Structure 1
Amino acid sequence: MKTINKLTFFKNSISIKQFCRNFILILFLFNTINQVFAIPPNFTTKNIKFLSEEDSLAGTIFKPDHPTAAVVIIHGSGQEKRMTEFATLLAENGIAVFTYDKRGVGESGGTYAGPEVGTNNVDAQNLNLLSLDASAAVNVLSKNLSNNKIAIGLIGGSQAGWIIPLAAEKNKKVKFMAIFSGALITVKEQLRFQFYTNGNTNFWDTHTEEDARKHTMTDPDKYEFIDTNPTDTLSKLSIPGLWIYGGKDIQVPVNLSIENLNALKSKGKHYEYKLFPALGHNTAFSKDEEPMKDVIKWTKNIKIPKSK
């Protein structure tokens, strides 16, 4: 009986040792396979600190091996850090990117302005300041591109629709702009529309374009500040631009914005737009990938008009 128990113990010991050896071998093979089949990123990243209006801002440059275009990402209205996922997507598609923490956010100095901290972030002074940050970021990206023939543009959504034209007017290095859900009306008009829709996702099921437009143009303003009209700036620019809109947007009056865009196009401006009737304000990162694909394709194939 004792002999049988010893033999059984000996066999069990061999089985455990064999299992451990096999397990270690499997782990080794698994790690080896991962290393063989892992695809390294086709871009490099570089953290950068730069000055804008005497404040130190921080961001990251994403540089593909052979970029076809380059962009600086401009923030919306919130307290936004550098947009690394967006930058990665663009870089994977051969577009060099500079994305930075908004002033007063993350590693960037300066003071953030916005309703979260009890201040107005849409008055002309703050929009102009943010456009100066964008212009400084363009200079940083330009210096870090090995090929000076690569066109640099600005890309962003929502509030960026006011900031991008201001930055493009300030910096002649900006050769194009791509804007998701940017209002082509004054800031005050946009706020009237937004207050009227009041976050109601079913707004367009119960309201007409005529009704919404009436309130956008005539409702009393809740706040007083120096206004910004993007069409004033866009009428001075000669660079191409692409706007992406969602037909169910309840933050931006899309039809009114498109009318103003068409008026600029009729004057010879190189402006385009694409409307996605089923989408809302978040056209960039909705479940529908087509808006982003369209912008990436347009950016990679941008034709820069020759300066007159």
Structure 2
Amino acid sequence: MFLLLVTSFQVMAASPDFMTKEVKFVSNGDTLAGTIVKPAQPLAALVIVPGSGQEKRMMEFASLLAKNGIAVLTYDKRGVGESGGVYAGPEVGTNNVDSANLNLLSLDASAAVNTLKKDLADKSIQVGLIGGSQAGWIIPLTAKKNNSVSFMAIFSGALVTVREQLRFQFYTNNNADFWNSHSEEDARHHIFNDPDKYQLIDTDPLTALSKLSIPGLWIYGGRDIQVPVQLSIERLKTLKSKNGRYEYQLFPDLGHNTVFTEDQKPVETMIKWIKTIVSSTEKP
């Protein structure tokens, strides 16, 4: 089953003053491998949660964050690179969006949070989660499991169920010009009415998000053809009645990939938001 093009965080950064440390940690009986990238005096810390593909650790993005004063743990997704376990995904003919797999990946991210937090000399530093695409489902599940997570930073994360996202993605059929000939009303009709092509245990991100009180920022591209952005924003606004610290920013001319583009404003916006959050809020 295909789900979501991977949002690749391959952003080049100048060589800042930071250290790197190879680490291994255990999740659900499997050993995962990663790298901690840490400036001398971090103001915040982040675990990079992989998206839907066979993602190895994202060193370029981690270096960029470290250059901005953020300690980072980036790791090879389970079954990829130096990490143990079994990878699930369309490349190997298995289902990567069933509730069981998303929950497993959230356990991996939670174990990564514990590993990064243990490595920090200053235990008061806030630890957050950052990721894009499929990680938009995994991050809320992780935050619900692990009280050490203090904030969420999500690029192009769907705030709809897995089934709804799949219906939308199958309907757009990876057509870059989709929004030139289709309306929001038309897209929603298919999201709510199309038959499902696959049987799976569904996941609704609102279930976890409605129970969280930590800050979160979602970055969206207005021309996304994999995530129904307007519907996601609509549901996020409803969630704000329970958690007023959920925010979003829309970049109308961007698509699903809001990170690896010539426009660096989405990444800059996210980094600025993280710095503001950790300087103005106490850990919940």
User: Do the structures match in fold with TM over 0.5?
Assistant: yes
Q: TM-score, normalised by structure 1?
A: 0.86
1:40 and 1:187 mapped to 2: Cα distance?
A: 39
| Structure 2 unpaired stretches of 5+ | 1-13
2:152 and 2:215 mapped to 1: Cα distance?
A: 7
Cα displacement (A) at 1:305: 5.4
Q: Does the Cα contact within 8 Å between 2:38 and 2:66 map onto a contact in 1?
A: yes
2:156 and 2:122 mapped to 1: Cα distance?
A: 31
Change (3 A) 1:40 1:234: closer
Cα displacement (A) at 1:285: 1.5
Counterpart residue identity of residue 263, structure 1: T
Match of 2:260, SS? coil
| Structure 1 unpaired stretches of 5+ | 1-38
2:250 corresponds in structure 1 to 275
Cα displacement (A) at 1:281: 0.2
1:109 corresponds in structure 2 to 84
Match of 2:80, SS? coil
Q: Does the Cα contact within 8 Å between 1:70 and 1:97 map onto a contact in 2?
A: yes
Change (3 A) 1:184 1:41: same
2:47 corresponds in structure 1 to 72
Q: Does the Cα contact within 8 Å between 2:34 and 2:57 map onto a contact in 1?
A: yes
Alignment of 1:143 with 2:118, yes or no, is: yes
> CA RMSD, aligned part only?
1.1
Report which of the two structures shows the higher radius of gyration computed on alpha carbons: 1
Cα displacement (A) at 1:268: 3.4
2:281 corresponds in structure 1 to 304
Q: TM-score, normalised by structure 2?
A: 0.93
Alignment of 1:50 with 2:35, yes or no, is: no
1:7-55 alpha-carbon deviations (Å, 9 max, x no partner): xxxxxxxxxxxxxxxxxxxxxxxxxxxxxxxx96311000001111110
How many percent identity over aligned positions?
70
1:242 corresponds in structure 2 to 217
2:70 and 2:276 mapped to 1: Cα distance?
A: 11
User: Across the two proteins, how many residue pairs are aligned to each other?
Assistant: 269
Q: Pick the aligned partner of 2:102 from 106, 127, 140.
A: 127
Cα displacement (A) at 1:270: 1.2
1:283-304 alpha-carbon deviations (Å, 9 max, x no partner): 0111110000000111112143
Instruction: Please state which structure has a larger fraction of its residues in helix.
Output: 1
Q: Does the Cα contact within 8 Å between 1:240 and 1:304 map onto a contact in 2?
A: no
Q: Does the Cα contact within 8 Å between 2:150 and 2:283 map onto a contact in 1?
A: no
Higher relative contact order (CA 8 A, sep 6+): 2
Alignment of 1:162 with 2:176, yes or no, is: no
1:293 corresponds in structure 2 to 268
